[in-house]
Amino acid sequence: EDTTQDIIFVTCTAPVNIAVVKYWGKRDEDLILPINSSLSVTLHQDQLKSTTTVACSARFKEDRIWLNGKEENINQPRLQSCLREIRRLVRKRRSNRDPGADVLSLSHKVHICSENNFPTAAGLASSAAGYACLVYTLSRLLSVEGELSTIARQGSGSACRSMYGGFVQWHMGMRADGKDSVAEQVEPESHWPELRVLVLVVSAERKPVGSTAGMQTSVDTSSLLKHRAEAVVPGRMDEMIQAIRKRDFSTFGELTMKDSNQFHATCLDTYPPIFYLNDVSRRVIGLVHRYNRHYRETRVAYTFDAGPNAVIYTLQPYVSEFVQVVKHFFPPETNGEELFYQVIKLCCE
């Protein structure tokens, strides 16, 4: 019996995305439907990314998953949703009598290996890249096509945006079944070649309150969040898309900083409050505003997710000077608490 021929496997990578209009709050916990639309920039493939290999064989007795080398429970509901939805697409192909679907039996089990090249759960969008990568890799392995962003969304909301490169919006959608809660590319990465992203790693520690639990408490307790979703985000999405289309950095940067600040304000308005920023984060905010004030122009913008690490958006001509300024105010590795930095470029030079 030949035991080598009956395993097939596929490896793919998916990059992290960093939101400039933030997603925070669900209207449906199971389907992962948000209370507002959001918009992000997907980083470059070779930077912060997840890599996933999925193998499929008639010999596998059950589905299994390993994350960063350690086997995890496959029966997590979100993982099961992604597997179920992908298999639903395989069945759909089959019923359409597509001969390609017969290559793999639906009863075949999968083994999944996934790893990140950056700290998990430090507010660096690890679940976004992870689920986007899982869904994409499964789709390649099983040769299925369809609205894959709605499947990635059911793994982790922000994952749907990592299904596309460049500037991506996640439409909140109106439907109860979530079919219109999809990601869409606004512009490809090539649209704005001067744009750069710096990640200032303040802490690689796990965050105290995970995003899923945090946003649930915010939805339950914060009236500011409700105001934000209904009265602020719709207009801000339009303005942000216009700023991106026009490559207007000053508007893009200002909206990005205001949106980050409002997201963290909703965290403070949550009861009990959630603190993701720390003293180093706040010093970075101060430094960016002083830098921009010096030039009387928004040349640099910060944004913070569910953790203290800063992500900086800027333009190519300002990168080296701003990095020097950061090095001056945050001398690297003088002690464990200090900021060390990593320069992540969004586009190829």
Residues that bind ligand 2P0 (CB under 6 A): 19, 22-24, 32, 38, 127-128, 156-158, 211-212, 305-306
Q: What number of CA atoms fall less than 13 Å from residue 326's CA on the CB side? A: 29
Question: CB-wise, 249 or 263, nearer to ligand 2P0?
Answer: 263
Nearest CA to 107 out of 92, 91, 122, 126 is that of 91
> What's the CA gap between 163 and 27, in Å, rounded?
22
Min dist. Cβ of residue 162 to ligand 2P0 (A): 10
| CB of residue 90 to ligand 2P0, shortest distance in Å | 24
CB of residue 24 to ligand 2P0, shortest distance in Å? 6
* C-beta of 24 vs 302, nearer to ligand 2P0: 24
Which is closer to ligand 2P0, CB of 217 or CB of 319?
217
Closer residue to ligand 2P0 (CB): 90 or 255: 255
In the beta sheet, which residues pair with residue 301? 313
- Residue-wise burial string across 122-132, b where 16 or more C-beta atoms lie within 10 A, e elsewhere: bbbbbbbbbbb
CB atoms within 10 A of CB 167: 26
**How big, in percent rounded to 5, are the helix, strand and coil portions of the chain?**
40, 20, 40
- Give the residue closest to ligand 2P0 by C-beta: 157
C-alpha span between 319 and 313 (Å, rounded): 9
Place of tokens 């209370």: 35
Q: Which is nearer to ligand 2P0, 90 or 129 (CB)?
A: 129
- Taking the complex as a whole, the smallest distance from the CB of residue 78 to ligand 2P0 amounts, in Å, to 7
Q: Are 63 and 123 in contact (CB under 8 A)?
A: no
- Taking the least distance from each CB to ligand 2P0, the nearer of 32 and 319 is 32
User: CB of residue 339 vs ligand 2P0: minimum separation in angstroms?
Assistant: 20
In whole angstroms, the minimum distance from the beta carbon of 158 to ligand 2P0 comes to 3
Report d(CA 230, CA 239) in Å as an integer: 15
* Residue nearer to ligand 2P0 on the CB measure, 256 or 298: 256
Minimal distance, residue 326 CB to ligand 2P0, in Å: 22
The counts of H helices and E strands in the chain are 9, 14
